[in-house]
């Protein structure tokens, strides 16, 4: 059977939940069955979701409440959605406890790190100097800057290279990760571009948007294939 992959959504208005089709298309292309996760903060519902789903895809979206990593809001902080933060952290905790695969993308990368105790840059341009352009002015499928991938990581085994090009659409970023996580890729300006767990079967997060690149980039397609395959191979 094909694995069922739950995908979190954004909320632009109070009663409207949205998701770019690129996420579900990428899961389908990799052999999975996407299932969109509606907003809920019910512990009972979240536990049942985590029991039914084979994997969790944390999608991109708005900013994360800085109080979750013990900071006050800076002027560059964008729109936050406390309900989404709460729901995604609860989902992460459930999937981690069950050792089920997680893939975090952009905001999903950041909320995964926060849920596991790491810190963040609320607003890269005002908090870090000598930056590359991390909010590209180019088509979403275009790979705009390079990343260095650490040898010996799962990401390196998937990409089979030490340098790759990725797209970029963010102003927040991971500041540091805590064990059992390890950084698996950085950009040339030192911004964390990917991390993964050393204690779980497949817990990985990337700062770029591979779902926008899968049709033209074999590396991005291989990343989704590896995720879906991990979801298929449940213990």
The catalytic site residues sit at: 106, 209, 211
Q: List the Cα angle 183/136/174 in 5-degree steps.
A: 25
Q: Cα-flanking dihedrals φ and ψ of residue 84, to 5°?
A: -65, -45
Judged by DSSP in three states, 211 sits in helix
Q: Cα-flanking dihedrals φ and ψ of residue 174, to 5°?
A: -70, 135
Q: Which residue carries 């094909």 as its tokens?
A: 2
DSSP letter at 134 equals S
Nearest to 14 by CA among 84, 66, 92: 84
> What count of other Cβ atoms lies within 10 Å of the Cβ of residue 221?
17
101, 54 contact by CB (below 8 A):
yes
């Amino acid at each position: 059977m094909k694995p069922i992959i739950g995908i979190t959504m954004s909320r632009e208005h109070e009663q409207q939940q949205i998701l770019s089709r690129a996420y579900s298309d990428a899961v389908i292309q990799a052999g999975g069955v996407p299932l969109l996760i509606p907003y809920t903060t019910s512990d009972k519902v979240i536990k049942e979701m985590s029991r039914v789903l084979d994997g969790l895809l944390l999608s991109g979206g708005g900013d994360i409440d800085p109080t979750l990593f013990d900071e006050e809001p800076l002027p560059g902080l964008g729109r936050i959605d406390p309900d989404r933060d709460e729901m995604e952290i609860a989902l992460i905790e459930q999937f981690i406890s069950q050792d089920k695969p997680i893939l975090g993308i952009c905001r999903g990368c950041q909320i995964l790190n926060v849920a596991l105790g790491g810190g963040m840059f609320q607003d890269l341009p005002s908090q870090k100097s000598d930056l590359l352009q991390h909010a590209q002015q180019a088509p979403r499928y275009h790979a705009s800057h390079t990343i260095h991938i650490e040898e010996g990581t799962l990401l390196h085994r998937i990409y089979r290279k030490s340098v790759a090009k990725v797209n970029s659409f963010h102003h927040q970023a991971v500041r540091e990760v805590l064990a059992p996580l390890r950084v698996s890729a950085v950009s040339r300006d030192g911004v964390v571009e990917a991390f993964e767990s050393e204690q779980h079967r497949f817990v990985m997060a990337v700062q770029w948007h591979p779902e926008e690149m899968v049709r033209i980039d074999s590396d991005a397609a291989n990343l989704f294939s590896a995720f879906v395959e991990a979801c298929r191979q449940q213990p």
